[in-house]
């Protein structure tokens, strides 16, 4: 049987909440606990806690992870607000998981039109609803803000797909999550805890999305990764529709097969170069391979049967 997951890290009996307030020391010591078993999926490359049990997690007003009382963190949020305004615009924004509402109120103070959702919200601001955001509720936005949300979700890819579909494949999404590269480089064991199901790298988002507008670690939060992603564009939707139509276009399929057979004996694919080196590929295959490498962004490519080496060049410079 093929190995589909590789275990990277294990710990047992962790408190399930890192940021929950208890009425007494005894209550805190008796808190529910769970195991951490970080694994990497061989197919997707995503890293997550295989032992996570979502039924243990209840986010309510006792959950308290607001960091905005820190002056350093306030500077970080000001930088994020500038990023959101620059890339997502000022109108029709939704913050999913807005916490206690500090960042949303900061955006409002900057003159942005934004609504927020979070079951742990305790206030009475009319722009914030104290409930989870439902991507199937029919709300649309020009921009979505997800600050420290995806790492808490058991199925982040499916949630992002729901957001895309609910928004008609339009708009941009700002994502902020802990950075696994930083955690590993700094040996920051304290940044691995039960609340976080997923541990992301920038390469994960480049595989998930067709376009990344900006990505990096913020100066005031070196452990945090900032990603600005675009949802599926109209062009990408049109491509998908055309590809689905081709599946039933028998005349086009037959013509393609006939061309392949007719061009094989004359060695048609031997006529092409890449930067002066023979590549021995059909032009459409060269383009398709570059698209795959760009979307997947693999760390390592192994190619056999390289002949004159032309096909190695595009893969090494993508």
Q: What is the pLDDT of residue 284?
A: 84
* Most confident range, picked from 207-216, 224-233, 239-248: 239-248
Average pLDDT of the residues in 266-283: 84
DSSP helix/strand/coil, 96: strand
Which secondary-structure segment (H or E) carries 183?
helix 180-185
Q: What is the pLDDT of residues 97-114, one digit of tens each?
A: 998 899 999 999 999 999
Average pLDDT, the chain: 83
Average pLDDT of the residues in 171-184: 90
The number of residues in the chain equals: 318
Handedness of CA 148, 202, 83, 90 (dihedral sign): negative
Is 50 exceeded by the pLDDT of residue 57? yes
Is 80 exceeded by the pLDDT of residue 68? no
The torsion defined by the Cα of 240, 242, 247 and 253, in degrees rounded to 10, comes to -130
pTM of full prediction above 0.85: no
DSSP 91: S
Is 70 exceeded by the pLDDT of residue 234? no
The structural domains of the chain, ordered by start, are 5-52 (no CATH), 71-234 (3.40.50.150), 259-317 (no CATH)
Is 50 exceeded by the pLDDT of residue 54? yes
DSSP helix/strand/coil, 41: strand
Average pLDDT of the residues in 236-251: 78
DSSP helix/strand/coil, 318: coil
């Amino acid at each position: 049987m093929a190995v589909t997951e590789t275990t990277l890290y294990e710990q047992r009996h962790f408190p399930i909440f890192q940021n929950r307030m208890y009425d007494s020391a005894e209550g805190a010591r008796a808190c529910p606990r769970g195991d951490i078993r970080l694994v990497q999926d061989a197919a997707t490359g995503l890293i997550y806690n295989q032992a996570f049990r979502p039924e243990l997690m209840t986010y309510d007003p006792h959950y308290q992870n607001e960091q905005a009382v820190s002056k350093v963190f306030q500077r970080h949020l000001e930088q994020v607000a500038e990023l959101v305004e620059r890339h997502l615009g000022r109108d029709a924004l939704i913050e999913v998981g807005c916490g206690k509402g500090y960042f949303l109120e900061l955006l409002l103070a900057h003159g942005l039109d934004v609504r927020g959702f979070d079951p742990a919200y305790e206030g009475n601001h009319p722009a914030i609803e104290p409930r989870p955001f439902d991507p199937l509720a029919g709300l649309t936005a020009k921009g979505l803000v997800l600050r420290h949300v995806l790492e808490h979700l058991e199925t982040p890819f499916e949630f992002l797909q729901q957001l895309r579909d609910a928004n008609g494949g339009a708009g941009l999404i700002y994502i902020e999550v802990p950075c696994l590269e930083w955690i590993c480089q700094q040996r920051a064991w304290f940044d691995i805890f039960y609340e976080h199901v997923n541990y992301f790298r920038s390469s994960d988002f480049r595989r998930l999305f067709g376009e990344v507008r900006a990505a990096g670690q913020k100066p005031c939060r070196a452990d945090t990764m900032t990603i600005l992603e675009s949802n599926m564009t109209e062009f990408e939707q049109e491509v998908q529709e055309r590809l689905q139509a081709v599946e039933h276009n028998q005349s086009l399929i037959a013509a393609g097969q006939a061309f392949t057979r007719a061009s094989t004996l004359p060695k048609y694919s031997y006529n092409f170069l890449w930067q002066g080196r023979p590549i021995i590929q059909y032009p459409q295959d060269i383009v398709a391979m570059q698209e795959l490498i760009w979307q997947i962004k693999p760390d390592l490519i192994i190619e056999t049967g390289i002949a004159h080496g032309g096909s190695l060049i595009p893969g090494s410079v993508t």
